[in-house]
Amino acid sequence: MGDRIHHDGVLIVGAGLAGLSAALSAAPRKVLLLTGAPLNQGCSSAWAQGGMAAALSDGDTPELHAADTIAAGAGLVDPAMAALLAREGPAAVRRLAELGAPFDRTVEGGFAQSLEAAHSRPRIARVKGDQAGREIMEAVVRTVLSSRHVEVRAGARLKGLLQDAEGRVCGVVVVHNGRPLEITAPAVVLATGGIGGLYGVTTTPAELQGEGLALAALAGAVIGDPEFVQFHPTAIDIGRDPAPLATEALRGEGAKLINASGEAFMAGYHPDAELAPRDVVARAIHAEIAAGRGAFLDAREAVGAHFPEEFPAVFAACLSGGVDPRIQPIPVAPACHYHMGGIVTDAHGTASLPGLFAAGESASTGVHGANRLASNSLLEAAVFGVRAGVAAASETMPGPRALRRLMTPDLPQDALQTLRAAMSRDAGVVRDAAGLDRLLGQIDQLEAAHGRAGPLVAARLVASAALDRRESRGGHFRTDYPLSLAPQRTFVTLPEGTPASRAA
Ligand code: SIN
């Protein structure tokens, strides 16, 4: 089947901030970077609005940042990993600034810092208001393209992993120019992003459907906390998928959440009102909408006429949906935004299988727990992407050996739409056993018809772990088990000998 080539260096799948950071830090080792979409497209990093959280201002410290990260994560954050993330945060922001990311500055030349929910102080380094993702990615993409050790192959869609008899991941199978291509390498870094495309409405590119997560799971890698999915409370509800975001920074600036009667409802749900943790705000909005009262973000007073300069991306998205946020409240609804779960890694991006690394949203480093703190995702991608690149660069290829291919079949569009609707209905902001059972039944049916496709494997990981977790915590809320038990992370390994594996 197809051609096989060998790359004697680091093979990276995914070109968001994590993948690109890994590519840069692997130098001088050669890097082959594979991406399905052209650079700067098809990745969530480029869509990020808020910015990067880092303790950069007087009076803030990495310890305070780590404490906020741990508190937001509802008992499941690994404190050592949170401390590492927060400690390396300021250097990560400075490094990106040196690459040319034009962070907003104070008059004294420091980093301007804004407030987002569940941060105890203004800590978000922004770029041109709400343009952080796009501007940071443009700077990093420019650097990658001028780095001689990196070769980029766009249009290469991940279809499988190559694995030896001892479980070592020795390469990938991609479809490139319509042809299958096997690429072997000493180290494979999966930076394949999240699972937004498994849900009916997502704030991320819809092509992100957990393919890397699914393949790593099928290969036997340990998967952590798959049930924890973050729903952004204020996706702009103008009937679009992917849904544009109304950044949390708007609430940091004082924008209020109101219902159709104009009542500001958040104080009835949490003492921190609009600045309560993201999962609390998402559930409150979900409840208002379910009760028929609707939900809107009212920035008329807090931002008003300054909207076009302060939040240009949100402003443009609103106008495109016929809403002028200077004079009208913005209709909002929760949408799938981020996967806290993923391929379990250590502080160097090393997964549980030799030869395999993961970084960014597809990884589970333990820094997000049950609920990621706002603007910690670009930070995690930058910090742990660099670490994964450095570690992967020191891998060497073992001698020649027989490899098996782990492949997943494609899921037809109509089946994908059925899955997305079922995930939103039954594994969304609010869950219960009946819904999760129904969802697993739906996944069984789709799998019987179409095989073990990547989106089905990833969806099953979410649904099974959500069913098994008989409590509520962070982004996982069970109406039938509303209380929290003793905190415990989920670690799952799929049984070996899956129908998706066969000898090559
Ligand atoms: C936002 O700007 O509200 C999103 C930031 C994030 O997801 O961390």
- The domains located in the chain, with CATH, are 3-194+340-392 (3.50.50.60), 230-336 (3.90.700.10), 410-483 (1.20.58.100)
CB atoms within 10 A of CB 22: 33
Query: Which ligand 1 atom is at minimum distance from the Cα of 230?
Result: 7
Give me the tens of pLDDT residue by residue for the chain, a chain 504 residues long. Answer: 569 999 999 999 999 999 999 999 999 999 999 999 999 888 999 999 889 999 999 999 999 999 999 999 999 999 999 999 999 999 999 999 999 999 999 999 999 999 988 999 999 999 999 999 999 999 999 999 999 999 999 999 999 999 999 999 999 999 998 899 999 999 999 999 999 999 999 999 999 999 999 999 999 999 999 999 999 999 999 999 999 999 988 998 999 999 999 999 999 999 999 999 899 999 999 999 999 999 999 999 999 999 999 999 999 999 999 999 999 999 999 999 999 999 999 999 999 999 999 999 999 999 999 999 999 999 999 999 999 999 999 999 888 889 999 999 999 999 999 999 999 999 999 999 999 999 999 999 999 999 999 999 999 999 999 999 999 999 999 999 999 999 999 999 997 544 333 333
Cα(16) to centroid(ligand 1), Å: 16
Helix axes of 433-450 and 454-468: crossing angle, nearest 10 degrees: 160
Query: Rounded to an integer, what is the distance from CA 295 to the centroid of its chain?
Result: 25
Is beta strand 31-35 parallel, antiparallel or unpaired with respect to 52-53? unpaired
Residue 451: both structure tokens together: 């095989």
Ligand 1 binding pocket, CB closer than 6 Å: 49-50, 245, 247-249, 374-375, 377
| Nearest-atom index, ligand 1, CA of 376 | 8
Probe residue for ligand 1, chosen from 43, 49, 126, 371 as the CB with the greatest number of ligand atoms within 8 Å: 49
**Given the structure tokens 């977790």, which residue do they identify?**
469
* Ligand 1 atom closest to residue 373's alpha carbon, by position in its atom list: 8
Q: Which of 247, 257, 332 to mutate to test the pocket of ligand 1 (most atoms within 8 A of CB)?
A: 247
- Which position has the token pair 């902001």? 429
Q: How far is the CA of 9 from the centre of ligand 1 (A)?
A: 34
Protein residue whose Cα sits closest to atom 8 of ligand 1: 375
* Ligand 1, atom nearest to 372 Cα: 8
The DSSP letter of residue 75 is T
In the sheet that holds 124-125, the strands lie side by side as 52-53, 124-125, 113-114
Residue type, 456: L
Quote the distance between the C-alpha of residue 16 and its chain's center. Answer: 10
Residue nearest to atom 1 of ligand 1 (CA): 247
Question: How far, in Å, from the CA of 439 to the mean position of ligand 1?
Answer: 28
Asked if 224 and 366 touch (Cβ cutoff 8 Å), the reply is yes
What stretches of 73-176 show up as alpha helix (H) in DSSP? 79-98, 132-145
Signed CA dihedral, 8, 14, 15, 18: sign only: negative
- Tokens of residue 304, six digits: 């008003």
Whole-structure pTM value: 0.96
Question: What amino acid positions are annotated as catalytic residues?
Answer: 278
* Residue 78: C-alpha distances to residues 18, 64, 209, 366, 477 (Å): 20, 15, 26, 5, 21
> What size, in residues, is the chain?
504
Residues 6+ apart with CB under 8 A from 167: 219, 220, 353, 354
Burial 37-64 (b: 16+ CB within 10 A, else e): eebbebbbbbbbbbbbbbbbbeebebeb
- Cα Rg of the chain (Å, integer): 22
